[in-house]
Structure 1
């Protein structure tokens, strides 16, 4: 059974707010809890009412959508709706589900909502069962679902990590390797180097201080993480 998401729309342009409201009314499993043209009033409502999804304009008088969202004590899932491309990075930093550029068509709106539904389902299943078959990361200003079974290894590039997937694909996301480790099940993914973590299931062979993956990729093992190899050899 699909959960109905309670949503709020915040946009100081009446026509834009009305359009998003009409889209939300035409979309299954969305329930509108409020429509606000005043960001301050919206902020007060959001801090005393629990909602699931926020459609938020960025460039508004008195307070920007970015500052409004940062001020919220309980942060819902966020979809930015804006006429300005140059705010995309801020949306990325706030881990928005999606970034809709005005004028917004219904197909694009529904696609963003479907992402929110999927992310909500992922969070709920993770809390209730503890089982994880996938993770969500932000890349190219959108939320991307990655199946754990597709991950070969993860490479650190200073402030970013590159997730190498089967089929010669990769996803680049703004995240530290340590934060990525927190997202992944520790039994299935091991750090072998300050710059690499590997999927245990994708290891084909161990050659001294090097690990060969099923794809033929060779990864180094640093002294700091040599104990990981010893554990595998003794298990």
Structure 2
């Protein structure tokens, strides 16, 4: 992956770690560094930022005679048309949510399977893992999305509540939110709830059986829009 923002690289690496068929071979913070890596390593898929110092992602891609498959990751919409002329697989707008990332990976596996029927692929969105992998006390836990009731922010940590256990992992809640499927709703700066577990709601809170989670003022409109759809 190529991105001059370390946090952006960390997010993509985190997403990649959840897909057994993928592995991060190298992380570069500029295109010139990536050019040297491509000389010595075989890369099947490249996550490429556009706006970078010295050489943009678009110019870098144009310079490659035999580029790998490319997924662009950027905060800018205006390069979309030009990028597709370069036959990139997908164009992801930051901040990149987990489900959108998987759609891009789905395109990659399908494109590979067209060329080689033996290759691994994702047949449909139903093949997206139904769990979240998190770390706590040097252990790796797999938590089923459907088992999560809600998550709460504790500064640089997130506490995940299920009916069976509570797991605390080191993660910003904004990053954690992007790892969740669409049926999770951010109701407050400190809370994310599983909409499937909501049993009632008011103008001030949502209820998950006997648990009450507040709805923040700045989140009300979005929360109510999403609740109407669920």
TM-score between the two structures when normalised by the length of structure 2 = 0.49
Larger Rg: 1
TM-score between the two structures when normalised by the length of structure 1 = 0.48
Greater strand percent: which structure?
1
